[in-house]
């Protein structure tokens, strides 16, 4: 019987995990991963670190040998159309790839909201390494439009590279999806101390040669304007194929689109009306789509996302419901650190932490388990004193043991890291995806 042909469009994390899972499900299938950026999949959440000197080669998730070893054919081209009758993906190189199963993992682009001058050359939405290269050419003051994680992370790295940075936020506070009001106020002080100027309640109306101007008349010097104001899913291949598209490509819990044999995952997919726009979710959805495209039968189980950001010289983490009125009194763990726990019906439902890095996984597990409020004292203690790992195991098991980052889901596998076992990693090892410390990894059973 002829080998099954699986074509995956999009070389982001969803496409990558789809290819990996497809190979794990079907050892014989022909697998093509179409990488439209002309490079292998890379850690997109870390692109702003290029401004502070992170070499580009450190951003690749895997090198070319990894794909070759798994017989995943990487194709550096863009898919222009998909013909549903002949089951062929046409590429801008002129080539066509026939498929039996198709995975669309075309991701998203940065949203550029309405404002006069938003089509100027010095206006960017930060999404790709190519965007970073273009922005790097502007060394003057930068205005960032957006008060969420992406805007703050970009602000931190641009400001550390020596640029004057102003953040324009639409809301009356920063990180309103990740922090409650008290946490936002605490964080704002750290941002200002880091030398970043913040303009809240700001609505951009005009970008001219050298300024970004707000509706209320405030104006800020800007050699470049960066939008960090949400995403737009890339769905252009889906509608002509006859797939159901809302704000993104609609999928079911198997990541299957409205047509058998066609799957979508990651930032281009919409499940139950929702697109997460997160690395961990894209990674997990891609794995389900790839496995099912190869003949498996997997279901995507959504997890409550945790948000983590390393910026402004601190770490901000939040998880679960942070809008409950029933919040445990604020604790200043020490100068520059902040923590708050949220309860509902006397059970822990969410947490936000600023400036503590050692016990995130413990707090996350406590939220997942719905820790009773009267046991919270122990958790506060854990925030001061991260507990050591007390796992007993054989030497053989330890050598091959995989570890999972409890915060973002990244898996550390010795087999993919020159056989270096987790225990031998330096103490200052951090998760390559989300940047948390070694304490936040747990063994994968």
Ligand X SMILES: Cc1cc2nc3c(=O)[nH]c(=O)nc-3n(C[C@H](O)[C@H](O)[C@H](O)COP(=O)(O)OP(=O)(O)OC[C@H]3O[C@@H](n4cnc5c(N)ncnc54)[C@H](O)[C@@H]3O)c2cc1C
φ and ψ at residue 198, rounded to 5 degrees = -120, 130
Rank residues 108 and 401 by Cβ distance to ligand X and give the closer one.
Answer: 108
Q: How far is the CB of 282 from ligand X (least distance, A)?
A: 4
Joined tokens for residue 181: 């009001």
234-273 mask for ligand X (x: CB under 6 A)?
x--x----------------------------xx------
Q: How far is the CB of 60 from ligand X (least distance, A)?
A: 13
Q: How far is the CB of 12 from ligand X (least distance, A)?
A: 2
Rank residues 29 and 309 by Cβ distance to ligand X and give the closer one.
Answer: 309
Size of the chain in residues: 445
Considering only 13, 143, 359, 405, the residue that binds ligand X (CB under 6 A) is: 13
Interface with ligand X, residue 47, by CB under 6 A? yes
Stretch that binds ligand X, among 275-283, 344-352, 371-379, 389-397 (CB under 6 A): 275-283
Interface with ligand X, residue 10, by CB under 6 A? yes
Rank residues 34 and 294 by Cβ distance to ligand X and give the closer one.
Answer: 34
Partners of 96 in beta bridges: 90
Rank residues 187 and 343 by Cβ distance to ligand X and give the closer one.
Answer: 187
Interface with ligand X, residue 14, by CB under 6 A? yes
436 neighbors 337 (Cβ within 8 angstroms): no
- Interacting residues of 69 by C-beta distance below 8 A, sequence separation 6+: none
- In three-state secondary structure terms, 58 is helix
256 neighbors 263 (Cβ within 8 angstroms): yes
Stretch that binds ligand X, among 43-51, 201-209, 212-220, 352-360 (CB under 6 A): 43-51
Place of tokens 């997942």: 368
Rank residues 32 and 173 by Cβ distance to ligand X and give the closer one.
Answer: 32
Interface with ligand X, residue 44, by CB under 6 A? yes
Rank residues 156 and 342 by Cβ distance to ligand X and give the closer one.
Answer: 156
Considering only 8, 79, 145, 289, the residue that binds ligand X (CB under 6 A) is: 79
Rank residues 127 and 250 by Cβ distance to ligand X and give the closer one.
Answer: 127
Rank residues 10 and 320 by Cβ distance to ligand X and give the closer one.
Answer: 10
Interface with ligand X, residue 9, by CB under 6 A? yes
Rank residues 190 and 401 by Cβ distance to ligand X and give the closer one.
Answer: 190
Rank residues 156 and 343 by Cβ distance to ligand X and give the closer one.
Answer: 156
Q: How far is the CB of 105 from ligand X (least distance, A)?
A: 5
Interface with ligand X, residue 78, by CB under 6 A? yes
Q: Taking the CA of residue 369 as centre, how many other CA atoms within 13 Å lie in the half-sphere pointing to its CB?
A: 12
Interface with ligand X, residue 15, by CB under 6 A? yes
Site for ligand X in 91-130 (CB under 6 A): 105-108, 126-127
Joined tokens for residue 364: 């996350």
C-alpha 445/C-alpha 433 separation (Å) is: 21
C-alpha 71/C-alpha 410 separation (Å) is: 23
List the 123-125 sheet strands across, edge first.
123-125, 224-227, 142-145, 165-168, 197-199
321 neighbors 344 (Cβ within 8 angstroms): yes
Site for ligand X in 19-38 (CB under 6 A): 34, 36-37
182-221 mask for ligand X (x: CB under 6 A)?
----------------------------------------
DSSP 194-235: TT-EEE-S--EEEE-SSEEEETTS-EEE-SEEEE-S-EEE--
252 neighbors 260 (Cβ within 8 angstroms): no
Rounded to 10 degrees, what is the CA torsion of 170, 175, 176, 178? 160
In angstroms, the first-to-last Cα distance of the chain is 37
Taking CA atoms, 90 is separated from 46, 95, 234, 350, in Å, by 31, 6, 17, 47
173 neighbors 184 (Cβ within 8 angstroms): yes
Rank residues 149 and 348 by Cβ distance to ligand X and give the closer one.
Answer: 149
Nearest CA among 45, 306, 47, 316 for reference residue 190: 316
Site for ligand X in 276-315 (CB under 6 A): 277-280, 282
Q: How far is the CB of 140 from ligand X (least distance, A)?
A: 21
Interface with ligand X, residue 225, by CB under 6 A? no
Contacts with ligand X: how many residues (CB under 6 A)?
33
Place of tokens 């936020």: 169
Residues near ligand X (CB under 6 A) are 9-15, 34, 36-37, 44-45, 47-48, 78-79, 105-108, 126-127, 149-150, 234, 237, 266-267, 277-280, 282
């Amino acid at each position: 019987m002829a080998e099954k042909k699986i074509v995956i469009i999009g070389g982001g994390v969803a496409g990558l995990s789809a290819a990996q899972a497809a190979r794990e499900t079907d050892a014989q299938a022909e697998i093509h991963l179409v990488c439209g950026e002309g490079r292998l999949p890379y850690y997109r959440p870390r692109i702003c670190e290029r401004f502070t000197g992170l070499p580009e080669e450190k951003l690749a998730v895997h090198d070319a040998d990894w794909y070759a070893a798994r017989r995943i054919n990487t194709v550096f081209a863009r898919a222009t159309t998909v013909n549903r009758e002949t089951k062929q993906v046409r590429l801008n190189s002129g080539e066509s790839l026939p498929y039996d199963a198709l995975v669309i993992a075309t991701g998203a682009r940065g949203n550029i909201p309405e404002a006069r001058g938003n089509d100027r050359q010095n206006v960017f939405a930060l999404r790709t390494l190519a965007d970073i290269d273009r922005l790097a050419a502007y060394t003057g003051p930068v205005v960032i439009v957006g008060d969420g994680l992406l805007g703050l992370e970009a602000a931190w790295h641009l400001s550390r590279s020596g640029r004057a940075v102003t953040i324009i936020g639409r809301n009356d506070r920063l990180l309103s999806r990740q922090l409650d009001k008290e946490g936002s106020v605490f964080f704002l002080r750290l941002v200002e101390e880091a030398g970043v100027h913040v303009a809240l309640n700001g609505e951009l109306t005009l970008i001219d040669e050298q300024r970004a101007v707000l509706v209320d008349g405030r104006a800020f010097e800007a050699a470049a304007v960066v939008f960090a104001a949400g995403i737009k899913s890339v769905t252009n291949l889906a509608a002509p194929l006859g797939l159901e598209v809302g704000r993104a490509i609609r999928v079911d819990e198997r990541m299957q689109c409205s047509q058998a044999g066609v799957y979508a995952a990651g930032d281009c997919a919409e499940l139950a009306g929702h697109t997460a726009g997160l690395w961990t979710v894209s990674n997990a959805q891609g794995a389900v789509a790839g496995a099912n495209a190869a003949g498996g039968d997997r279901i995507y189980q959504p997890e409550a996302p945790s948000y983590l950001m390393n910026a402004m010289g601190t770490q901000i983490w939040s998880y679960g419901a942070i809008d409950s009125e029933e919040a445990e009194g604020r604790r200043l763990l020490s100068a520059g650190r902040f923590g708050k726990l949220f309860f509902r019906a006397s059970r822990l439902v969410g947490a936000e932490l600023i400036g503590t890095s050692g016990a995130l996984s413990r707090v996350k597990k406590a939220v997942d388990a719905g820790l009773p409020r009267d046991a919270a004292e122990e958790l506060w203690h854990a925030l001061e004193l991260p507990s050591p790992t007390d796992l007993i195991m054989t030497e053989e098991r330890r050598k091959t043991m995989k570890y999972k980052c409890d915060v973002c889901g990244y898996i550390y596998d010795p087999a993919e890291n020159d056989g270096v076992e987790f225990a031998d990693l330096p103490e200052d090892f951090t998760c390559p995806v989300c940047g948390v410390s070694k304490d936040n990894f747990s063994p994968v059973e």
